[in-house]
């Protein structure tokens, strides 16, 4: 396992090669510990995992060392600047580009199970001792040496006023004039589950997101959507991999913020909600034995009810099935219906661990919203339509909708 550097945007994820994602014994802190995954013995076959080690896996449960994703989570926010990129205006204005939106985003997505508390014990710009140029921060830069030096300097500058043990995760909101425009290069990055990071108040700064520049596409939506890089980066802090690949958002489209975090709002996949501890065992159906069973699915964006059907194919892969509608964080859904995707716990971050099945291939999709992968926007199956994997003998038929807005789905395993 590695210390992780996941770069947000549509190209690729990078990682360093050293370290382990597990915290050293005795190093656990307010931020460490396993997530509150809800499952019963019947869920065992659906708790897929990779045989070989990957940096950041879709496997369930998430390995230890990441920040917990349920209950009260205290986020330390520090706004930093440099002699060659001095912060302009009030540092709290930088903070307000991301809050309260990020807190609300997590509350909505988690059905209230993640109470994200952003705090700013140092309300002004925290000046770094070296110039921005001297840290040699570039897209894809590994933790060593630049980020190690930067984290060490951040800790030294903040330590007199901050007790790092009081926080579960760290957000470094860099002055937007440091580095290139996000339209040219996205520098924003997260180092998660990284026990090799410099220590502060006796614990490693193991989970830290760095946000640079502004994800402003010039469409005029920045005030509404520009914060979305932070829930994406914090997703890594909770152990989630990047779902975009070197080819862009074509694997998952706009169905998860780990796939696309520019443009209009979108939610997490149901798989991620289960992984993060936001679904009860009774909301997740594991279809492990041959036969035909009909299930009800309630819209993923709505609290309560049945959310996710998992059909395991072997110990490391599974189909996941959920109902997506335009509600909650899902702003751009143009064809509500049942989304079917394959999860592979052995495929690493940025290499396509999740692939959405498109019910209408080469249709061009139903949305023209900017920064939304159009082709997959009409991927969901609607009543009367059937997903078939002939080789694995899996058939998923959407039978009907209920007046309540729920959908009925019949799953057959051979
Ligand atoms: Zn990322």
Residue 227 has phi, psi (to 5 degrees) of -70, -15
- Give residue 246 CA to ligand 1 midpoint distance, Å: 12
pLDDT for residue 35: 56
pLDDT for residue 9: 35
- Give residue 241 CA to ligand 1 midpoint distance, Å: 7
Q: How far is CA 68 from the centre of its chain?
A: 13
- Give residue 189 CA to ligand 1 midpoint distance, Å: 7
- Give residue 372 CA to ligand 1 midpoint distance, Å: 16
Work out whether the CA dihedral 389, 393, 399, 404 comes out positive or negative: negative
Q: Give the integer Cα–Cα distance in Å for 230 and 237.
A: 11
Instruction: List, for residues 278-310, the tens digit of each pLDDT value.
Output: 999 999 999 999 999 999 999 999 999 999 999
pLDDT for residue 19: 26
Contacts for 398 with CB less than 8 Å, ≥ 6 apart: 337, 338, 381, 382, 383, 384, 385, 386, 407, 408, 409
- Give residue 254 CA to ligand 1 midpoint distance, Å: 14
- Give residue 245 CA to ligand 1 midpoint distance, Å: 10
Q: How far is CA 278 from the centre of its chain?
A: 13
Please classify residue 292 by burial: count the beta carbons closer than 10 Å to its beta carbon, then call 0-12 exposed, 13-18 middle and 19+ buried. exposed
pLDDT for residue 21: 30
Q: Are strands 126-127 and 71-81 parallel, antiparallel or unpaired?
A: parallel
- Give residue 186 CA to ligand 1 midpoint distance, Å: 10
- Give residue 326 CA to ligand 1 midpoint distance, Å: 24
Picking from 27, 19, 6, the residue whose alpha carbon sits closest to that of residue 53 is 19
Contacts for 184 with CB less than 8 Å, ≥ 6 apart: none
- Give residue 50 CA to ligand 1 midpoint distance, Å: 20
Helices (H) and strands (E) in the chain, counts: 7, 19
Q: How far is CA 29 from the centre of its chain?
A: 22
Q: Give the integer Cα–Cα distance in Å for 238 and 68.
A: 6
Q: Do residues 159 and 111 make contact, with C-beta atoms less than 8 angstroms apart?
A: no
Q: Is residue 4 helix, strand or coil?
A: strand
Q: Is residue 222 helix, strand or coil?
A: helix
pLDDT for residue 320: 98
Picking from 337, 334, 339, 375, the residue whose alpha carbon sits closest to that of residue 357 is 339
Q: How many CB atoms lie within 10 A of CB 202?
A: 9
pLDDT for residue 89: 96
Picking from 106, 145, 100, 140, the residue whose alpha carbon sits closest to that of residue 120 is 100
Instruction: List, for residues 4-36, the tens digit of each pLDDT value.
Output: 444 443 322 333 222 223 222 222 333 334 456
DSSP characters over 79-91: EEEBTTBPPPS-H
The CA-based diameter of the chain, rounded to the nearest angstrom, is 66
Work out whether the CA dihedral 86, 91, 97, 99 comes out positive or negative: positive
pLDDT for residue 12: 29
pLDDT for residue 163: 97
Residues in the chain predicted with pLDDT less than 70, given as ranges, are 1-36
DSSP characters over 115-182: EEEEE-SS-S-EE-SS-HHHHT--TT--IIIIIHHHHHHHHHHHTTT--GGG-SEEEEEE-TTSSS-T
Q: How many CB atoms lie within 10 A of CB 278?
A: 26
């Amino acid at each position: 396992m590695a210390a992780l550097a996941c770069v947000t945007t549509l190209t690729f994820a990078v990682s360093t090669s050293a370290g382990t994602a597990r915290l050293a014994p005795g190093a656990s802190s307010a931020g460490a510990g396993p997530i509150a995954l809800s499952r019963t013995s019947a869920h065992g076959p659906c708790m897929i995992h990779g045989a070989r080690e990957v940096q950041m896996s879709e496997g369930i449960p998430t390995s230890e060392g990441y920040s917990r994703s349920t209950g009260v989570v205290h986020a330390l926010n520090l706004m930093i600047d440099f002699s060659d990129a001095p912060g302009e205006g009030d540092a709290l204005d930088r903070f307000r580009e991301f809050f309260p939106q990020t807190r609300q985003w997590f509350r909505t997505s988690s059905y209230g199970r993640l109470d994200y508390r952003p705090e700013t014990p140092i309300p002004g710009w925290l000046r770094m001792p070296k110039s921005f140029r001297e840290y040699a921060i570039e897209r894809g830069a590994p933790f060593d040496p630049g980020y190690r030096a930067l984290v060490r300097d951040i800790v030294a500058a903040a330590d007199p006023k901050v007790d790092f043990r009081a926080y579960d995760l760290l957000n470094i909101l860099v002055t937007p004039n440091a580095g290139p425009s996000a339209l040219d290069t996205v520098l924003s990055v997260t180092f998660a589950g990284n026990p090799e990071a410099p220590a502060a108040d006796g614990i490693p700064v193991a989970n830290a997101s760095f946000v640079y520049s502004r994800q402003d596409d010039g469409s005029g939506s920045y005030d509404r959507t520009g914060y979305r890089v932070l829930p994406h980066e914090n997703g890594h802090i909770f152990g989630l991999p990047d779902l975009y690949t070197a080819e862009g958002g074509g694997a998952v489209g706009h169905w998860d913020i780990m796939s696309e975090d520019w443009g209009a709002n979108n939610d997490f996949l149901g798989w991620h909600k289960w992984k993060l501890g936001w679904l009860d065992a009774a909301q997740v159906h594991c279809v492990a034995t041959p036969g035909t069973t009909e299930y009800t699915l309630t819209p993923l964006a709505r609290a309560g009810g049945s959310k996710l059907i998992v059909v395991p194919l072997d110990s490391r892969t599974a189909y996941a099935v959920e109902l997506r509608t335009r509600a909650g964080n899902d702003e751009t859904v143009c064809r509500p219906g049942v989304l079917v995707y394959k999860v592979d716990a052995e495929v690493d971050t940025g290499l396509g661990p999740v692939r959405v099945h498109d019910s209408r291939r080469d249709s061009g999709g139903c949305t023209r919203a900017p920064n939304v992968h159009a082709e997959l926007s009409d991927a969901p199956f609607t009543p009367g339509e059937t997903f078939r994997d002939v080789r694995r003998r899996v058939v998923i038929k959407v039978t009907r909708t209920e007046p309540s807005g729920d959908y009925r789905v019949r799953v057959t395993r051979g």
